[in-house]
């Protein structure tokens, strides 16, 4: 049975780099890398969309990023500033619901199932949140709206930057069928390789397996994969969750 929850996942667009471009107008429209220096074994913590066009991504060695784009502007992270802006954004979330689960400085889940704002429309609430973030911080965010955390998070990545994407309960199962398995939360490179060896590349392949067979191959995670393949994710939004450490955040 499909749940009747209303979950929003908000993901700030290139957060660290966008803060730097906001605070330094001369950086706007230019490839910006936030991270360590290339000559000191630094790592890319975040990069602007202009930098991503050169193939640069977070967790990449800064030396590699510099080779890909010698004209990139490399900036040391200002964690205190990012924390401050993140706190401002979290306060915006709490105007709409008390059920806010921050994942890191730049993303969070919101459960707006019981909200009466905008006649309870999660899509209109998400649009209002994005508008308020832009007005108060001059930054953009992408939003995913769905009936569970898994699909809301996937949705927020579907229309970046500054997008809003909705996956309804009627669309959920079919949507997952078309997903490559590496997009499924909890499936890393090793599990993806094992699944491919078993002929599982898409959600539709995963859906063909019964629960017992998946448990036999993947242990307890098999039950989770069985449910996810059907668009089911019962995990609640936890407002007492401690977000990731700065070490995790700076490499996203």
CB 117 within 8 A of CB 96: yes
51-55 long-range contacts, CB within 8 A, separation 24+: 51/17, 52/14
Residue 244 in tokens: 């990731």
Interaxial angle between packed helices 122-137 and 79-93, expressed in degrees from 0 to 180 and rounded to the nearest 10 = 140
Q: How do beta strands 7-12 and 32-35 pair?
A: unpaired
Query: Rounded distance, CA 181 to CA 187, Å?
Result: 7
Interior angle at CA 247, CA 151 and CA 180, nearest 5? 30
Cα torsion through 99, 246, 142, 1, rounded to 10: -50
CB 62 within 8 A of CB 74: yes
Query: Rounded distance, CA 70 to CA 138, Å?
Result: 28
Number of other CB atoms surrounding residue 171 within 10 Å? 14
Select which of 20, 101, 107, 249 is catalytic: 107
Active site residue 107: yes
Query: What is the C-alpha radius of gyration for the chain, rounded to an integer number of angstroms?
Result: 19
Measured over all CA atoms, what is the biggest interatomic distance in the chain, rounded to whole angstroms? 58
Instruction: Give the active site residues.
Output: 107
């Amino acid at each position: 049975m499909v749940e009747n929850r209303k979950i929003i996942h908000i993901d700030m667009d290139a957060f660290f780099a966008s803060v730097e471009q906001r605070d330094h107008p001369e950086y706007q429209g230019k490839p910006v890398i936030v991270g360590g220096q290339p000559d000191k074994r630094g790592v890319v913590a975040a990069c602007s969309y202009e930098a991503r066009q050169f193939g640069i991504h977070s967790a990449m060695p800064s030396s590699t990023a510099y080779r890909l784009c010698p004209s990139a502007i490399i900036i040391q992270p200002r964690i205190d500033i990012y924390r401050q802006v993140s706190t401002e954004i979290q306060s915006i979330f709490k105007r709409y619901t008390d059920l806010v689960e921050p994942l890191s400085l730049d993303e969070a889940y919101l459960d707006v199932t019981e909200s009466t704002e905008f006649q309870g429309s999660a899509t209109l609430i998400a649009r209002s949140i994005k508008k308020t973030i832009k007005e108060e911080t001059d930054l953009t965010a992408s939003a995913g709206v769905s009936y569970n955390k898994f699909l809301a998070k996937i949705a927020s990545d579907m229309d970046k930057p500054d997008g809003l994407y909705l996956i309804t309960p009627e669309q959920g199962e079919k949507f997952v069928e078309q997903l490559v398995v590496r997009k499924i939360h909890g499936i890393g490179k090793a599990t993806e390789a094992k699944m491919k060896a078993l002929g599982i590349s898409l959600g539709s392949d995963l859906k063909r397996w019964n629960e017992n067979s998946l448990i036999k191959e993947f242990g307890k995670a098999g039950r989770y994969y069985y449910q996810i393949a059907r668009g089911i994710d019962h995990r609640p939004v936890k407002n007492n969750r401690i977000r990731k450490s700065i070490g995790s955040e700076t490499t996203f």
